[in-house]
Chains A and B, each alone.
Chain A
Amino acid sequence: MAARTGERDRCVTGVEGLDTILYGGIPRTNTVLLTGSCGTGKTSLALEFLIHGAMKGENSLFISVTENSEKLLANIIPYKFFDKGLIKSGRLVFIDLPIMYERLGLNKSELSMEEIDLLVSSLTSLAEELGTRRLVIDSVTSVCYKLKTSEKIRDFILKISKSLSDLDCTSILVGELPAGSESYSSFGVEEAIADGIIIMANMERRGDLLRTLQVIKMRGTMHSRARYVLDLTPMGVLLVPLLKGGSTA
């Protein structure tokens, strides 16, 4: 189910405000870096992207790196539109990457180039087997800790992005940032390769802490570059423009 806007087919995220910011959705097959510090709503937004995809009949895959998927499911906001049947029917699949590491024998603290290839091909095969059209890796930063060098990180992200794109899959790589970070990624490599960057942050204004979202880049579409304030609600992620009269930056 893709909306056609301009030249590229769109993957409608289902988050109304975000689709408006992106003039209709993420250009299909893009790999987007969704980055931010803790408590900014990255996982909730990524999950909503998958749930809406699954509801539209697009097979969706969540690859959890940091959190056990059962715990994750228990903790997510009880979205009013979420239907557990999506999981039962296989439209929405959760995979724990640590289990995959174990099965592939990738238990070392640093992966070699060959092992990176093995990881990429295994993830791609899984996505292909499941007919995945939407994929989230949460978080890519945790994967990068096993890659160590910029070359390996670049190699991994380039290969996984290309493989998923070839499968007609739109993907979100969740990135973790330390609080107050001014860069877009932990290793300084991820943002250069991704087709899009969405940054989520905690913004303090006169003692109030606001959750914000800003699209920094998105290949294949025009988009707003303004900062928005968001709320995580049982109706999903809601967005409104940041009022500039009170902006400190």
Chain B
Amino acid sequence: MSPVVSAQKIADELAETPPSSAVSLTMSVDNYLDVIRGVVDLFANRRQMDTIYVTATISSDSIRRVLEALDIDSSNVYFVDCISQIMMGATSAQQDDRTTLVESPTMLENLMLKIEYLIRRSQSKDKLVVIDSINSLAIHNSNWILSEFLHILVSGLRSREAYTVILTVEEHSTPELNNLINLVCDHGVRAGKEEAE
């Protein structure tokens, strides 16, 4: 295996997809920071898109700190945080104009409603919705309901001409989960460790 895929390469691959695309982004745990830089900074920010970032793995507060550490402008990033409350770590201060809390990652309908709310509120012409990650959502939900959720969510986002990027951690994925994502996504970007040539 050769080194992980660069942030620029991730952004370039996303840039080749047309609006309304749903993209499955398979990454390695080692490549998380490059993925965030590639998706949020080099892809969305450069195109002046609003990013709706759904956090199911780590809290929005942590992602915000990562963005700060990477020196990435987060003024156009809005969070739907479905992990802080269940971890009992959320305070009222964390729910602000840019962060919406969902009580639990099992409340998938509420997750869709919060995304819908942020899309309606967004003034930006182009929007990107990032699901971080499908593996974390799969911990709390069966594949059946997850499949239904992704189908409705992605169809709705397509009709609003928003990009969807679904993050999958390759080390934690299963063939069932990969099939489920392949059913709703029209492009796949691999940002894991590159295969040796």
Binding site for B on A (CB under 8 A): 80, 205-206, 208, 210, 229-231, 233, 235, 238-246
Contact = CB atoms under 8 A, between A and B. Distances in A.
B144 A245 contact: yes
A231 B147 contact: no
A231 B102 CA distance: 11
A240 B107 CA distance: 12
Contacts of A244: 148
Contacts of B114: 231
21 contacts: A205-B106, A208-B103, A208-B104, A208-B107, A229-B109, A230-B113, A231-B113, A231-B114, A235-B121, A239-B113, A240-B113, A240-B116, A241-B152, A242-B109, A243-B149, A243-B152, A244-B148, A245-B145, A246-B108, A246-B141, A246-B145
B106 A243 contact: no
B109 A243 contact: yes
Contacts of B106: 205-206, 208, 246
B46 interface: no
A203 to B, nearest CB: 10
Q: For chain B, which range describes its interface: under 10, 10 to 19, 20 to 34, or 35 or more residues?
A: 20 to 34
A80 B121 CA distance: 10
Nearest to B104: A208
A238 B110 CA distance: 10
Contacts of B104: 208
A77 to B, nearest CB: 12
Contacts of B148: 243-245
Nearest to A229: B109
B117 A229 contact: no
B90 interface: no
Contact of B117 (A208, A231, A245): A231
